Amino acid sequence: MDLKNIPHTLPRFSATFDPHTLAEIRRAAATGIYDIRGGGTKRKLPHFDDLLFLGASVSRYPLEGYREKCATDVWLGTRFAKKPIHLKIPVTIAGMSFGALSGQAKEALGRGASLAGTSTTTGDGGMTSEERGQSQTLVYQYLPSRYGMNPDDLRKADAIEVVIGQGAKPGGGGMLLGQKISDRVAQMRNLPMGIDQRSACRHPDWTGPDDLEIKIEELREITDWEKPIYVKVGATRPYYDVALAVKSGADVVVLDGMQGGTAATQDVFIEHVGIPILAAIRPAVQALQDLGMHRKVQLIVSGGIRNGADVAKALALGADAVAIGTAALVALGDNDPALEAEYQALGSTAGAYDDWQEGRDPAGITTQDPVLAARLDPVAAGRRLANYLAVLTLEAQTIARACGKSHLHNLEPEDLVALTMEAAAMARVPLAGTDWVPGNPQGF
Amino acid sequence: MPVVNLAETAKRELNAQLHALSVDTNETHWRVENPQGQHALAAGLNVPVTVEIAGHAGYYCAGMNSQATVVIEGNAGVGVAENMMSGKVHVKGDASQSAGATAHGGLLVIDGDASARCGISMKGIDIVVKGSIGPMSAFMAQSGTLVVLGDAGDALGDSIYEARLFVRGEVKSLGADCVEKEMRAEHRDLLHKLLEAAGADAGVDEFRRYGSARGLYNFHVDNASAY
Ligand SMILES: Cc1cc2nc3c(=O)[nH]c(=O)nc-3n(C[C@H](O)[C@H](O)[C@H](O)COP(=O)(O)O)c2cc1C
C-alpha cells in the first residue's frame, strides 16, 4: 500500500466539546471562578419566531391600514389601586438598576419612555433623581436586597413592583462587582466602596404566599392603597406562581422568561435555569382565566422582546403588555458597531459584548465610570428609544389590523399558528397547516 | 389624646388618620385599643407623634417608620419596624422574626426576646434586645448596631458587612465571615449610649463585640467553601 497517498480525514470539532465549551473549560481551569456576564440566554431557544400570524382571509376581514383605528393603550392596576396607570402603548421599560446602568442611561430611559407614553422601572439600588425627574410613570422595585428602599421614594413612585425573581436567574440574588461600586452607588446601597456586592435571593421579612399577601397589604397601607402593586417572577412554574401572586393580592403580574437580560449573573445560571417566555405565557394566562382574573389582574411578559411581531404575539397569547430591557439598551446605543475598535480592545466585538459587570462599557451605558458615562447623551439616546418604541407599536398595529383587530388586546391565540412542534406545544396553537395542538391543553 | 378602638374602627381608617397628620400637628399622642394582632398597624408614619398600641400587633407594625415613636404594649409579629428610617419603636413583649429588617435608622427596643433573623440586612438602625435572639440574626447586616442582653442563636452575623454586634450572653455559633472583635473605647462609648437610650440595665464590660472579618468582600476561589 502506498502509505503516502492515504487520504486524511479532516480535523473534526466535537459537537459536544465545541470550541466555546473548550474555551470555557480552559478559562475555568485558569481562574477557578465561574463566568459572570450580562445579557440574556445566548443559545437558540423556542421563541416568538416560531409563531406566525394567519392574517385575514375570506372568513375574516382586515382593518384598513392607515385609516381604521387600532388602539394600543393599556390600564395597569385596576384591581385594587386607587390610582391605576394608563399607558399609551403596551410596551414598558423593565427594571434595570442604577449601579448596573449609569445615571445617564437611567435618564435616557426615562426620557424615551415618557416621549412614547410608557413607564420605566427602577431596579436593585433604588430610585435616582435622574430617572424620577424624567420618567412620567415610574415603577419602584421592591427587591430582596432593599438597597435604597425608603418610604419617601415609595410615595413618589407611580407603582410598586415586588420582585421575587427574574428570568435570567430565577432563584438567584443579584451581584454587582466591585468595579461598579462607585462612591454614589456605595452610598445608595449603604455598602463599603469597591466590594463585590451580593444581594439576597430571598426577601428578608417574608417567605411564601401567605406572608406575601401580608407584605402587599403593608405596602398598600403605607401608600394608602393608591398605587398598583406588581409582582415580578422569573418563568419557572408560571401557572402556580401567577395563581399565588393573584391570591396574594397583586394588581399586575410581571413574568420574565429565561431569555431576559441581567446586569451580571453566572453564565451557567443564565443558560440553564428557567423556561423560555414562549412556554410560560399560556400557563400564566390559564391561571388567570381559571381564577376569573384575566384582564382584571394584568399580565406583563418579558424576555427577548425585539420587534412589533414579538409584541403582537405576546399579546395574542394573552398578555396585557410586554417589558423590554436588552432591546431598550440597544436602542440607547449598546453594542453599537461604531464602537468596534473599543469592543475589540476589550476582547469582544460589537453585538457580542456582555462583560457589563466590569463597568468598562464604551457606550457609557453599563458603567459607573464618569468619563465613559458622559459619552451617552441622555437627550439623543432618549429620542432613539422613543423612535424604537414607536416602531414596535406601529409594527404590532400593522399585524393587528391585518388580523382585523381594532385594539392590540383583541389579538388572540386563534390568530396564530406554530412553525415547529415545540412551539405548537408551548404556545398551544396548531402546527401551521394542521389543526393539531400537541399535548393536553388542560394538563399543566 | 385621640383613642382609636380597632374593635370599632378599621385599621385602614387608623392608618389613614395617622398619615394625614402634618408635622406640626397638635394630636401628638395616640392610643390604639384592641389591636387584636392586626397587620401593618401604624405603618408608614412620617411625623413625630407617639402611638401606643394597647396589646399585640401582627406583621410589620410600624413598618418604614419615620420620626414617630410607636410603643407596642404586647408582642409584635414578623418584621416589626422593618425598614424604619428614624424614630423609635418599643416592643414591651417579644418580637417575631425579622425584627428591624433592612432598617436604615431609628431605635428599636425589644424588652423580651426576638426570634430568627433579627436585624437581617440592617442598614443603619440601632436595635437593643433585652432578652435573647434567634438564629441567622444580623444576616448580611450592612450597618448600624445590634445589642443583645441575652443569648444569640446559630449563625450570628452570617455574611455581615459593617454592622456592629454586641452580645452579653452566649453566641451559639457565628456565621460566615463574622468574628469576635476587640472592644475599644469607641465601642464602649457607643454601647453605653445605646443601653442608656434603651433603658437597659447592663454593664458595658459584660458584652463581647462581633463584626465582619471582611474576608468575603471580594470573591476569591479559596474562600468558596465559606459560602
Ligand atoms: C442591565 C440590566 C439590569 C437589570 N436589572 C434588574 C433589576 O435590578 N431588577 C430586576 O427585576 N430585573 C433586572 N433586569 C431584568 C429586566 O428587568 C428584564 O426582566 C429583562 O431585561 C427582560 O428581558 P430582555 O432583556 O430580553 O428584554 C436587568 C436587566 C438588564 C439587561
Domain ranges of chain A: 48-333+376-409
Position A328 pLDDT exceeds 90: yes
3-state helix, strand, coil in chain A (%, to 5): 40, 15, 45
Position A1 pLDDT exceeds 70: no
d(CA A325, CA A300): 13
Domain ranges of chain B: 3-226
| CA A328 to each of CA A68, A69, A298, A331, B207: distance values in angstroms, whole numbers, following the listed order | 29, 27, 22, 5, 53
Ligand 1 mutation pick, A92, A96, A231, max ligand atoms within 8 A of CB: A96
- Give yes or no for a contact between A127 and A157, defined as CB atoms under 8 angstroms apart: yes
Pairing of strands A85-87, A74-76: antiparallel
HEC-encoded secondary structure of A127-188:
CCHHHHHHCCEEEEEECCCCCCCCHHHHHHCCEEEEECCCCCCCCCCCEECHHHCCHHHHHH
d(CA A165, CA A202): 9
d(CA B200, CA B209): 17
Radius of gyration of the CA atoms of chain B, in A: 18
The DSSP output letter for A263 is S
Q: Which candidate from A150, A154, A211 shows the least CB-CB separation from B104?
A: A150
Average pLDDT, rounded, for chain A: 94
- Give the pLDDT confidence score for residue A442 in this predicted structure: 55
Total number of residues shown for chain B:
227
d(CA B223, CA A48): 42
pLDDT per residue as tens digits for the range A258-308 = 999 999 999 999 999 999 999 999 999 999 999 999 999 999 999 999 999
Locus of grid cell 389579538: A411
- Give the pLDDT confidence score for residue A190 in this predicted structure: 86
User: Is the domain covering B3-226 a CATH 2.160.20.60 domain?
Assistant: yes
d(CA B99, CA B82): 7
Minimum mean pLDDT range among A65-69, A348-352, B176-180, B204-208: A65-69
For chain B, how far is it from start to end, CA to CA, in angstroms? Answer: 52
Minimum mean pLDDT range among A59-63, A103-107, A321-325: A59-63
Better-predicted residue by pLDDT, A8 or A385: A385
**DSSP letters spanning A21-34:** HHHHHHHHHHHSS-
Position A206 pLDDT exceeds 80: yes
Contact A150 B85 (CB under 8 A): yes
3-state secondary structure of A265: strand
Helix (H) or strand (E) holding B140, with range, is none
- Give yes or no for a contact between A38 and A282, defined as CB atoms under 8 angstroms apart: no
Query: How many DSSP H helices and E strands does chain A contain?
Result: 15, 16
- Give the distance (Å) from ligand 1 centre to CA of residue A353: 16
Better-predicted residue by pLDDT, B120 or A64: B120
- Give the pLDDT confidence score for residue A258 in this predicted structure: 97
A429, HSE (Cβ side, Cα atoms, 13 Å): 28
- Give the pLDDT confidence score for residue A179 in this predicted structure: 77
Q: Which candidate from A178, A211, A223 shows the least CB-CB separation from B218?
A: A178
Residue in A closest to B100 by C-alpha: A205
CA-wise closest residue to A166 among A284, A273, A242: A273
3-state secondary structure of A92: strand
Neighbours of A409 (CB within 10 A): 20
CA-wise closest residue to A186 among A201, A176, A172: A176
Report the pLDDT averaged over residues B30-42. 98
Better-predicted residue by pLDDT, A6 or B159: B159
- Assess A115–B contact: CB distance below 8 Å, yes or no: no
Q: How many Å lie between the alpha carbon of A200 and the closest alpha carbon of chain B?
A: 8
- Give the pLDDT confidence score for residue A350 in this predicted structure: 97
pLDDT per residue as tens digits for the range B164-195 = 999 999 999 999 999 999 999 999 999 999 99
- Give yes or no for a contact between B131 and B122, defined as CB atoms under 8 angstroms apart: no
B53, HSE (Cβ side, Cα atoms, 13 Å): 32
Q: How many Å lie between the alpha carbon of A196 and the closest alpha carbon of chain B?
A: 5
pLDDT per residue as tens digits for the range A3-41 = 788 888 899 999 999 999 999 999 999 999 899 999 999
Enumerate the H helices of A199-276 as residue ranges: 208-222, 238-247, 267-272
A95 bridge partner residues: A121
Q: How many Å lie between the alpha carbon of B208 and the closest alpha carbon of chain A?
A: 24
Position B227 pLDDT exceeds 70: no
**All 3 cell numbers of residue B220?**
476569591
Position A428 pLDDT exceeds 60: yes
- Give the pLDDT confidence score for residue B225 in this predicted structure: 67
pLDDT per residue as tens digits for the range A101-113 = 999 999 999 999 9
In the sheet that holds B107-110, the strands lie side by side as B3-5, B29-33, B50-54, B69-72, B88-91, B107-110, B123-129, B143-148, B164-167, B208-212, B178-181
Query: How many residue pairs bridge chain A and chain B with CB atoms within 8 Å of each other?
Result: 104
List phi, psi (to 5°) of B186.
-60, -35
**pLDDT band (50, 70, 90) for residue A2:** confident
- Give the distance (Å) from ligand 1 centre to CA of residue A88: 22
| CA B144 to each of CA A163, A284, A354, B119, B194: distance values in angstroms, whole numbers, following the listed order | 25, 42, 36, 9, 11
Please report the ipTM that was assigned to this predicted complex.
Answer: 0.96
Pairing of strands A159-163, A175-176: unpaired
**pLDDT band (50, 70, 90) for residue A444:** very low
- Give the pLDDT confidence score for residue B224 in this predicted structure: 67
Sort residue B58 into left (φ over 0), alpha (ψ -120 to 50) or beta: beta
Pocket of ligand 1 (CB under 6 A): A 38, 40, 94-97, 100-101, 123-124, 141, 163, 166-167, 232, 256, 259-263, 302-305, 323-327, 366
Residue A434: Cβ-neighbour burial (10 angstroms; 0-12, 13-18, 19+): exposed
- Assess A30–B contact: CB distance below 8 Å, yes or no: no
Check: pTM over 0.90? Answer yes or no: yes
Superfamily of domain A48-333+376-409: Aldolase class I (3.20.20.70)
3-state secondary structure of A410: helix
Locus of grid cell 465601642: B187
Q: Report which residue type is found at B220.
A: H
d(CA A396, CA A431): 22
- Give yes or no for a contact between B167 and B207, defined as CB atoms under 8 angstroms apart: yes
Q: Report which residue type is found at A397.
A: Q
**All 3 cell numbers of residue A53?**
400570524
3-state secondary structure of B131: coil
- Give the pLDDT confidence score for residue A441 in this predicted structure: 54
d(CA A10, CA A18): 16
- Assess A183–B contact: CB distance below 8 Å, yes or no: no
d(CA B184, CA A110): 48
- Give the pLDDT confidence score for residue A59 in this predicted structure: 87
- Give the pLDDT confidence score for residue A12 in this predicted structure: 93
Minimum mean pLDDT range among A2-11, B56-65, B98-107: A2-11
- Give the pLDDT confidence score for residue A443 in this predicted structure: 45
| CA B135 to each of CA A142, B131, B144, B157: distance values in angstroms, whole numbers, following the listed order | 25, 14, 19, 9
- Give the distance (Å) from ligand 1 centre to CA of residue A246: 22
- Give the distance (Å) from ligand 1 centre to CA of residue A260: 6
Within 415-444 of A, beta carbons closer than 8 Å to B belong to: none
- Give the pLDDT confidence score for residue A67 in this predicted structure: 81
pLDDT per residue as tens digits for the range A121-162 = 999 889 999 889 999 999 999 999 999 999 999 999 999 999
d(CA A116, CA A384): 11
Average pLDDT, rounded, for chain B: 96
Q: How many Å lie between the alpha carbon of B159 and the closest alpha carbon of chain A?
A: 9
